Amino acid sequence: MEKIMEYSLYIDGAAVPTATHMDIFNPASGALLGACPVAGRTELDQAVAAAGKAFESWSQTPDAARKAACHTMAGVLEKHAEELAKLLTQEQGKPLNGLGSRFELGGCQGWAHFTADLDLPVEVVQDNDEGHVELHRKPIGVVGSITPWNWPLMIAIWHVIPAIRSGNTVVIKPSPYTPLSTLRMIELIAAVLPKGVLNVVSGRDDLGQMMSEHAGIHKIVFTGSCATGEKIMASAAPTLKRLTLELGGNDAGIVLPDVDAKAIAEGLFWGAFINGGQTCAALKRLYVHEDVYDDVCQALAEFAGNIPVGDGLDENMILGPVQNEMQYNKVKGLVEDAVAHGARVLLGANPEDGKGYFYPTTLLADAHDGMRIVDEEQFGPALPIIKYSDIDDAITRANASENGLGGSIWSNDIEQAKKLAARLECGSVWINKHGMIQPNVPFGGVKGSGIGVEFGIDGLKEYTTIQAVFS
């Protein structure tokens, strides 16, 4: 029998084994992939101490050297992209091709290079006879990063690179569902940094709580569910940590009656089904005007029916399985509930028995507010389509969610679409597209979808404190 690889933590510039491991399985086949190290309080303390010690010198490292180090890390990602993509596909499920693992590794490189070139110059806010006042941006300290299982490597880069670029040190914990690719990636990119600047610990969910409570961690950046974000905020409160929380979304798209249904079908599909719908800013609810409702349903079903779903290691696949059993069962339950309450299946539903957590791409027509799949975030390959007749009513229903991450307006009248976009209660609004994030544009949610922003100058500032200097 082939020996399963046992992975290690990476702390203070060295691999650190643990006494306990947990098995990680391929969601497409159920095959055992590797053994993930389970860290506890002792290993976390070790990582935080290493990061704290490294901060003393890294925070004083010249800005140009930190910039160069981030570019070097991006170069390491490029060199090892194929290795990391294959490992990512095996543990996360997404295909190598399409908007899958190779796409994700490309995003890692692009974000790292872009963020490396960001600067936070001293800002002069007063220079007159009464005095000279400057605002300086200073690193916070040890940053604790907690990442999810849907885009594990790209989100890790979103957390790690701005933290290091701005002079902080990092302890990162990947999701227990997808730890192996992150463990390997951090081992690779941390090797080009001074020891202790970047450390990775893996384990179960209780490790995340230990991090948010830890007095030696000065900021937590977390991407994941609203429920977990609330717990992190509560457990971080006694130490008054800085927080950046990018939480769940139940993004609404609103289609106006002037569209060409066939022209927007591809954009609607990928807005909803990128990564099998397992994306915070994916399109989760689609409101379509009654004049074009049937046409949009038909065009979307025709496009979706041609997208192959299967094992991500097959180069011909475009979508893969749901990543884990818990999420698979949630999607399955939400679809069954919707059908029981009158939703009409245009495509999908009724998954076949067999290996892997494969749930078919599912479109549900005649959905309505009050159905669980409309009111809750499904985070999987199922999209409810809701008919509306009055645009003001559609805006009201779109805004009724507790979430406010993203939204979209679909129309040939761009100026009208912009006016409607301004009425949506969300951090990002797209017109005739959905979920297209960029490294130069701040991204974050309102209401229950989080605190703070990532990306660009505004995202970089979240890893700093302001010091006013009067002279």
Would you give the end-to-end CA distance of the chain in angstroms? Answer: 71
Is residue 452 within 8 Å of 244, Cβ to Cβ? yes
CA 87/CA 66 separation, integer angstroms: 29
CA 377/CA 284 separation, integer angstroms: 7
325 catalytically annotated: no
Distance of CA 415 to the CA centre of its chain: 30
Among candidate residues 36, 70, 226, 280, the one labeled active-site is 280
DSSP 378-405: --SSEEEEEEES-HHHHHHHHHTSS--S
Is residue 305 within 8 Å of 311, Cβ to Cβ? no
CA 211/CA 241 separation, integer angstroms: 11
Long-range contacts from 397-401, C-beta under 8 angstroms, 24+ separation? 397/252, 397/287, 397/369, 398/252, 398/254, 398/285, 398/287, 398/424, 399/423, 399/424, 399/425, 400/369, 401/250, 401/252, 401/375, 401/447
Is residue 222 within 8 Å of 194, Cβ to Cβ? no
Nearest residue to 469 via CA among 132, 119, 139:
132
Is residue 222 within 8 Å of 146, Cβ to Cβ? yes
CA 377/CA 449 separation, integer angstroms: 11
Amino acid identity, residue 151? W
Residue-wise burial string across 206-244, b where 16 or more C-beta atoms lie within 10 A, e elsewhere: ebbbbbbbbebbbbbbbbbebebbebbbebbeeeebbbb
Name the 3-class secondary structure at 450: strand
Nearest residue to 328 via CA among 250, 253, 367, 380:
380
Nearest residue to 161 via CA among 114, 210, 195:
114
Among candidate residues 91, 246, 425, 462, the one labeled active-site is 246
Distance of CA 306 to the CA centre of its chain: 27
Is residue 155 within 8 Å of 58, Cβ to Cβ? no
36 catalytically annotated: no
Is residue 372 within 8 Å of 250, Cβ to Cβ? no
* Residues annotated catalytic, as ranges: 246, 280
